[in-house]
């Protein structure tokens, strides 16, 4: 007779750790009024000047960084030119974010075993992660996982998939890079409300999370010599909402990426997120009351309000998310990683507790990631 026993749940220390986060923003920064004025000029004669001002004020963004100087945008009249700019600037920002994450984590680039990459604002073959490997001299045997099309959910989904990988390869170190240059998708000849909102809401930037498996050991004594607590990825859940393709995404045409952005996004969030989060937490033996911090993607003021309502949160719970939106706009997949970095910066040396990292995006879908310190 053989005794049969269930496998014990992994101890917290057995989960992959988020060792460091790096951020990168292009140097061309403008306040919202300057950007609105430039777009009023670009769309002059199309009768949308007043709508530009009204919609840009409504998105609660105070300023953003752009991939290019503002005066260059009127010259970008075809997809080839904008995509070339995406590859050039995107590679620069990806390298900057990865190097910053490596420094924050104390993990040298030579120790990386896998590189995840996500974007939805440009295309490249080979993808930008290959260019990063060449420029920074990453190991020749690094495993590459480029993702395209996840949009705003890409940062949270990328963290979850990277953690999945590290559970299967616990001695490895991996990095996720998110690069989004949303300004390069601007459609000059499209005065639709969706395009006008996008022109006021989305910004440009990149972020990188470097993670280590539970059995990863430094290859030099100084590595991982940081005092700040490192959150560990305990569990994740993907949620897909059938027949919602037209809630958010892109239509592709001769001019490149044309935004699909339904006014119903906040309704989808408010109607579904509460029950989905509760079901996910219940599977871990937890409730919302057990979550100390909410690391949420800043989709826009109405989406943030819907999250607050659906989850029954106090206003201050999403203050870092609102602050990120106001300061740099919605960076699509990179945004939730910027919010994560803000939370890590504010974690005291003896910090502990649980956090929910979450985002929603094209599909329409959600990604929920449970972290613990």
Rounded Cα gap, residues 159 and 46, in angstroms: 42
Rounded Cα gap, residues 133 and 146, in angstroms: 13
Rounded Cα gap, residues 341 and 333, in angstroms: 14
Q: Which of 77, 109, 73 is nearest to 204 (CA)?
A: 73
Rounded Cα gap, residues 312 and 306, in angstroms: 10
Active site residue 152: yes
Rounded Cα gap, residues 226 and 47, in angstroms: 55
What are the C-alpha distances in Å from 87 to residues 80, 180, 250, 301? 11, 11, 19, 30
Structure tokens at 14: 């057995």
| Residue 47 falls in which region: left (phi positive, over 0), alpha (psi -120 to 50) or beta | left
Q: How many CB atoms lie within 10 A of CB 279?
A: 12
Structure tokens at 237: 């859940």
Give residue for tokens 């939730």: 336
Q: Which of 152, 208, 296, 365 is catalytic?
A: 152
Query: In a 10 Å sphere around its CB, with 0-12 CB exposed, 13-18 middle and 19+ buried, how is residue 186 labelled?
Result: buried
Taking only Cα atoms into account, the Rg of the chain, rounded to an integer number of angstroms, comes to 21
Structure tokens at 143: 């495993």
DSSP string, 40-88: HHHTTTSS-HHHHHHHHHHTT--EEEESS-GGGGGG--SHHHHHHHHHH
Q: Please check whether residue 257 is in contact with residue 245, taking contact to mean a CB–CB distance below 8 angstroms.
A: no
Catalytic residue numbers read 152
């Amino acid at each position: 007779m053989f005794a049969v026993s269930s496998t014990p749940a992994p101890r917290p220390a057995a989960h992959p750790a988020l060792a460091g986060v790096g951020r990168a923003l292009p140097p061309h920064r403008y306040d919202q009024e300057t950007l609105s004025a430039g777009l009023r000029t670009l769309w002059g004669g199309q009768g949308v000047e007043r709508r530009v001002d009204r919609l840009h004020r409504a998105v609660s963004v105070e300023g953003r960084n752009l991939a290019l100087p503002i005066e260059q945008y009127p010259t970008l009249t075809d997809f080839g030119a904008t995509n070339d700019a995406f590859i050039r600037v995107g590679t620069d920002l990806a390298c900057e974010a990865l190097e910053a994450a490596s420094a924050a984590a104390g993990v040298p680039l030579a120790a990386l075993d896998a590189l995840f990459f996500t974007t939805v604002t440009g295309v490249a073959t080979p993808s930008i992660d290959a260019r990063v490997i060449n420029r920074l001299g990453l190991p020749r045997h690094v495993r590459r996982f480029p993702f395209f099309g996840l949009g705003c959910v890409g940062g949270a989904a990328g963290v979850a998939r990277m953690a999945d990988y590290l559970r299967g390869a616990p001695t490895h170190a991996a990095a996720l890079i998110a690069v989004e240059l949303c300004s390069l998708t601007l459609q000059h000849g499209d005065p639709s409300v969706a395009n006008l909102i996008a022109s006021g809401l989305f910004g440009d930037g990149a972020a990188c999370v470097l993670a280590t498996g539970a059995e990863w050991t430094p290859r030099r004594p100084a590595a991982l010599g940081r005092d700040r607590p490192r959150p560990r990825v305990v569990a994740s859940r993907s949620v897909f909402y059938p027949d919602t393709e037209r809630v958010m995404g892109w239509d592709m045409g001769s001019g490149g990426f044309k935004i699909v952005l339904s006014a119903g996004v906040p309704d989808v969030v408010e109607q579904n997120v509460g029950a989905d989060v509760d079901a996910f937490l219940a599977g871990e033996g937890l409730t919302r009351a057990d979550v100390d911090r909410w690391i949420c993607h800043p989709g826009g003021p109405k989406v943030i309000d819907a999250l607050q309502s659906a989850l029954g949160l106090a206003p201050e719970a999403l203050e870092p998310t609102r602050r990120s939106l106001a300061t740099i706009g919605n960076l699509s997949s990179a945004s939730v990683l910027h919010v994560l970095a803000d939370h890590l910066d504010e974690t005291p040396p003896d910090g502990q507790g649980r956090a929910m990292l979450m985002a929603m995006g094209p599909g329409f879908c959600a990604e929920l990631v449970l972290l613990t310190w």
